[in-house]
Amino acid sequence: MINLDELYRQVIMDNYKNPKNKGLIKDTGYINIHLNNPSCGDDMNVSVKVENGIVTDIRHDGTGCSICCSSASVASVVLREKTIEEVKRLINEFFELVKGEDITNEELDEALAYKSVSKFPARIKCATLGWKAIEQALEESE
Ligand code: ZN
């Protein structure tokens, strides 16, 4: 039997140590958003590219705790190559997940690892910071 908590912890540590899509792109066509979470000291920037209603690239760069930095990496993979509507729906499902709702959508893939964050309410802001920045970028793209 695979211990699910152990597997989830592994996802978080892997994405923290080896983040995917790290490094911002300051180019026309990219929307850059900066958000921070004073309660933990997390500081997150994202660059999001939207083309013809599709989110084609998500980049992130920031400093903070492992939950915050790793979840931005996961978001940059999970939310890529989807329509704005799909991405908004997945972001909302992720917010419900970390609040403890029973979300099992496989499209969330590695993001499902953050389910256990609901047991630590102070860390919910950490887990959602990058996702909130991406959501804000989408709002500005419209
Ligand atoms: Zn944090």
| Residue 134: both structure tokens together | 């991406």
- pLDDT tens digits, 18-57: 999 999 999 999 999 999 999 999 999 999 999 999 999 9
User: What is the CA(105)–ligand 1 centre distance, in A?
Assistant: 25
Which protein residues have a CB closer than 5 Å to ligand 1 (ion)?
40, 42, 64-65, 68, 126
Q: Look at residue 2 and tell me whether its pLDDT is greater than 60.
A: yes
What single-letter amino acid sits at 69? Answer: C
DSSP letter assigned to residue 114: G
Residue 76's pLDDT band, with cuts at 50, 70 and 90, is very high
* Residues above pLDDT 70, as percent of the chain: 99
Question: pLDDT tens-digit profile of 90-118?
Answer: 999 999 999 999 999 999 999 999 999 99
Q: How far apart are the C-alpha atoms of 16 and 77, rounded to whole Å?
A: 14
Residue 82 near residue 134, CB atoms below 8 Å = no
In a 3-state reduction of DSSP, which class is residue 118?
helix
